[in-house]
């Protein structure tokens, strides 16, 4: 049995994130016309609610990190949750909500060296590190949460500054 979460959000942002989240621990990948999230953490989960709650924790940090690295102005949310049984049958859980679609543009860089080696740089590359840190450091998790919820006002920026100042000192 496997849990798969279909993500809703800006396709460009999800495409960029899929380039850097490609491990069994956390994997975002395109599945036909949608992007799905898979996680090794869900193996022992028995209910849709457990998967939803854990995914919402992931998305709280992921949305802040995506806003910081990609300039994303819309949140990634859960579109549906599917429980795929060993026989291939699927049970899908869906909730309905309003979705808006603003546009975002980013640039990836690809360098081909004289020796033929290729290096690719994606704007979402640092998101993996930030997500890992947010799971181990409550201040990073809090900062990403604040960035996701209010990064456009002076008040919101100051709240992020306070978390950083508290963490590293004056």
Q: Write the pLDDT tens digit of every residue in 121-145.
A: 888 888 889 989 999 999 999 999 9
Q: Does residue 103 or residue 144 have the better pLDDT? A: 144
Cβ atoms 91, 80 nearer than 8 A: no
Could you tell me the residue ranges of all domains in the chain? 2-98+106-168
Cβ atoms 28, 45 nearer than 8 A: no
Say which residue the tokens 């989960």 belong to.
Answer: 45
Which region holds residue 169: left if phi is over 0, alpha if psi is between -120 and 50, else beta? left
Give the model's pLDDT for residue 109: 74
pLDDT, average across residues 12-17? 94
| CA distance linking residue 170 with residue 115, whole number of Å | 47
Give the model's pLDDT for residue 106: 63
Give the pLDDT confidence of 66-79 residue by residue, as tens digits.
Answer: 999 998 888 999 99
Q: Does 103 score more than 80 pLDDT? A: no
Whole-prediction pTM:
0.69
């Amino acid at each position: 049995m496997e849990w798969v979460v279909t993500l809703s959000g800006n396709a460009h942002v999800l495409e960029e994130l899929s380039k850097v989240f490609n491990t069994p621990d956390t994997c975002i990948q395109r599945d036909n016309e949608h992007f799905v999230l898979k996680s090794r953490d869900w193996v022992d989960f028995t209910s849709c609610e457990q998967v939803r709650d854990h995914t919402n924790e992931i998305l709280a940090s992921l949305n802040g990190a995506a806003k910081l690295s990609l300039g994303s102005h819309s949140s990634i949310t859960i579109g549906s949750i599917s429980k795929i049984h060993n026989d291939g049958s699927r049970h899908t859980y869906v909730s309905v909500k309003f979705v808006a679609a603003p546009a975002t543009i980013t640039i990836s860089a690809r360098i081909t060296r004289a020796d033929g080696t290729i290096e690719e740089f994606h704007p979402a590359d640092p998101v993996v590190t930030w997500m890992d840190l947010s799971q181990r450091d409550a201040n990073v998790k809090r900062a990403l949460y604040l960035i996701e919820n209010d990064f456009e006002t002076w008040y919101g920026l100051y709240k992020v500054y306070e978390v950083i100042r508290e963490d590293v000192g004056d």
